[in-house]
Amino acid sequence: MTEASVAKDAVAAAEELVVLKGVNKHFGALHVLQDIDLTIARGEVVVVIGPSGSGKSTLCRTINRLETIDSGDISIDGKPLPEEGKALARLRADVGMVFQSFNLFAHKTVLENVMLGQIKVRKADKKAAAEKARTLLDRVGVGTQADKYPAQLSGGQQQRVAIARALAMDPKVMLFDEPTSALDPEMINEVLEVMQQLARDGMTMIVVTHEMGFARSAANRVVFMADGRIVEEAVPDQFFSNPRSDRAKDFLSKILHH
Amino acid sequence: MTVKLTVLSAVGSLVWGTLLAAMRVSPVPLLRGAGAAYVNIVRNIPLTVIIVFSSLGLADIFGVTMGTDNFDIQGFRLAVLSLAAYHSAFVCEALRSGINTVPVGQAEAARAIGLSFSQTLRLIVLPQAFRSVITPLANVLIALTKNTTVAAAIGVAEAASLMKTMIENEAQTLLIGAVFAFGFVVLTLPTGLFLGWLGKRLAVKR
Ligand SMILES: Nc1ncnc2c1ncn2[C@@H]1O[C@H](COP(=O)(O)OP(=O)(O)OP(=O)(O)O)[C@@H](O)[C@H]1O
Ligand SMILES: [Mg+2]
């Protein structure tokens, strides 16, 4: 084996950032995740779609262990997910998460929201944290709102702050669980634009969304889930114009013609 | 004496009550059980029994001297201990109801950025819970102020027992009673009003 090919193998291994193998999860009798195998490469943008209740949120939440799993393995950047304690907290800091309902800390200002994790988890000093927070808030276009409280912002602004809060931890991968579903239509685009910019900047992203425009323009791959299983995986163009499974055809016909 | 007793017991019950509330929401079943047991037992024992027990039981039988030989100081310290132990159970329950008003998403977002359980509780959940329970907490503190009278059972010179001595000496029962009742209102009313105002000011907007 030549040196070059060894190096190439090492790169290939490092390219796999998030790996799920044979993941199963039950809520009581309900089998929400069934034998999920999914690999996400560094820099890849994967959109997860599927009918309500198919387990998309649960899948997202198992990746930073907000939900535990019953069997299978999940590893991030080559390391298996820690069970709990300090190691788990450290891992969560490396995995950014953006929620449907924003979940900004209601008793802290926008700036404090973005500073908190840097100071308490990354042990950054206050000045550096504030500076970085302002840079990030500018980047998502809410720099002028830094001293307001979350409740004083529109939904679209809150969600952009939430993205900045996650970015402040310098995450290796970002999880988005229906980030625009709780927004008024006129605010959806301002959030999607921030996400598209992130995708262009090379961030690894797992995005649960029904925004087909975003999936087509930003995703490398679409994962279609139904009843706790991954039914189909394809590049966006192929998935939307020529889905293979009946479940996906059925689902697409419902969301595209309404 | 009433003021000093109230302030010290209030601080004690707030601190211990917060710890109890933390135990009751912790992921460790043993801590949860211990917290629940404490609250349910202490809450259901009359305060008089606790105070008399601490005086007779702790001091006289087990010889707990609270670091002093002076009988009055010992009585005072035991009164603080009992009042704090008793009211902490109510502080804990008030806080726990407050914790339940904080949306789960707040704690999830905190965990998602890598905060530990105790950081999540200290930095995110409790500060919001405190703000939503200022009114019920004020009720606990007002009850505590009035309950200092029970400390008389072990001879701590608080207002009510002072009143009793005075009534025994003089005949102006009604007037003296009214003066002391007024005194308590003076102590509790501003507390209540202040905390009510604070509650409105600090309320977390969602
Ligand atoms: N904490 C829970 N306890 C019990 N059942 C749950 C819990 N969370 C989710 N479920 C159930 O698990 C199934 C999958 O839920 P999940 O939220 O992952 O679906 P989803 O694909 O995200 O749906 P949606 O598009 O509505 O968000 C649903 O049937 C849901 O009712
Ligand atoms: Mg969901």
Structural domain count, chain B: 1
Atom of ligand 1 nearest to the CA of A58: 18
> What are B125's two structure tokens?
């959940």
Contact yes or no for A151 and B206 at CB 8 A: yes
- Atom 31 in ligand 1: which residue has the minimum CA distance? A53
Contact yes or no for B113 and A121 at CB 8 A: yes
Give the tens place of pLDDT for each residue, A140-179.
Answer: 999 999 999 999 999 999 999 999 999 999 999 999 999 9
- Residue B104 contacts A, CB cutoff 8 Å: no
Q: What is the CATH number of the domain that holds B98?
A: 1.10.3720.10
Count other C-beta atoms under 10 Å from residue A185's C-beta: 7
Indicate the pTM of the whole model: 0.82
Give the Å distances, CA to CA, from B89 to A127, A249, B12, B38.
41, 59, 11, 7
How many Cα atoms sit within 13 Å of B90 on the Cβ side? Answer: 21
Q: Give A35→chain B minimum CA distance, Å.
A: 25
Ligand 1 site residues (CB inside 6 A) read: A 27, 30, 32, 50, 52-58
Q: Give the Cα separation of B30 and A114 in Å (integer).
A: 35
Which is nearest to A211 in space by CA: A179, A249, A258, A251? A179
Q: Which of residues 167-206 of B touch A (CB under 8 A)?
A: 204-206
Residue span of the structural domain in which B193 resides: 2-202
* The predicted structure's pLDDT at residue B197: 75
Give the tens place of pLDDT for each residue, A207-246.
Answer: 999 999 999 999 999 999 999 999 999 999 999 999 999 9
Tell me, in angstroms, the distance from the centre of ligand 1 to residue A54's CA.
7
Give the tens place of pLDDT for each residue, A15-31.
Answer: 899 999 999 999 999 99
Minimum-distance ligand to the CA of A255?
1
- Atom 25 in ligand 1: which residue has the minimum CA distance? A52
The residue of chain B with its CA nearest to that of A117 is B113
Residue A3 clears pLDDT 50, i.e. is over it = no
Is residue A4 very low, low, confident or very high in pLDDT (cuts 50, 70, 90)? very low
